[in-house]
Amino acid sequence: MWKRLSALWTLVRRDGRLFWFALRHPDAPPWLKPAAFGLLFYAISPIDLIPDVIAGLGIVDDVVIIPLAVHLILKRLPPHILRQAGMRATATTVRPR
């Protein structure tokens, strides 16, 4: 189970880095920044799909929906932006000792 969680965490970190570098790319599509702000607003807004009052389930929707939305946004990016963002992300990755 820990191996699966570790692999999932690695994917989420990779997508986060790709998303960050794609946002900073000069050829980024015009819809990318509003999508990023929308995700940020959803993350900090008190309105959720599942209310936070329900113990444990309120946080689960944020933990699932936000990485899924980032992944779907990355799939819609042009290939050259995704490729260049991937090269920059791997170049800045710090290797553990």
Q: pLDDT of 28-72, one tens digit each?
A: 999 999 999 998 888 887 776 666 666 667 677 777 888 899 999
In percent, the amount of the chain with pLDDT more than 90 equals 22
Residue 41 within any structural domain of the chain:
yes
pTM, entire model: 0.76
Is-contact 22 81, C-beta < 8 A?
yes
Residue 96 within any structural domain of the chain:
no
Q: pLDDT of 28-40, one tens digit each?
A: 999 999 999 998 8
The pLDDT assigned to 92 comes to 74
Per the structure, the count of domains in the chain is 1
Residue 97 within any structural domain of the chain:
no
Domain span holding position 35: 2-91
How far is C-alpha 97 from the chain's CA centre?
26
Residue 42 within any structural domain of the chain:
yes
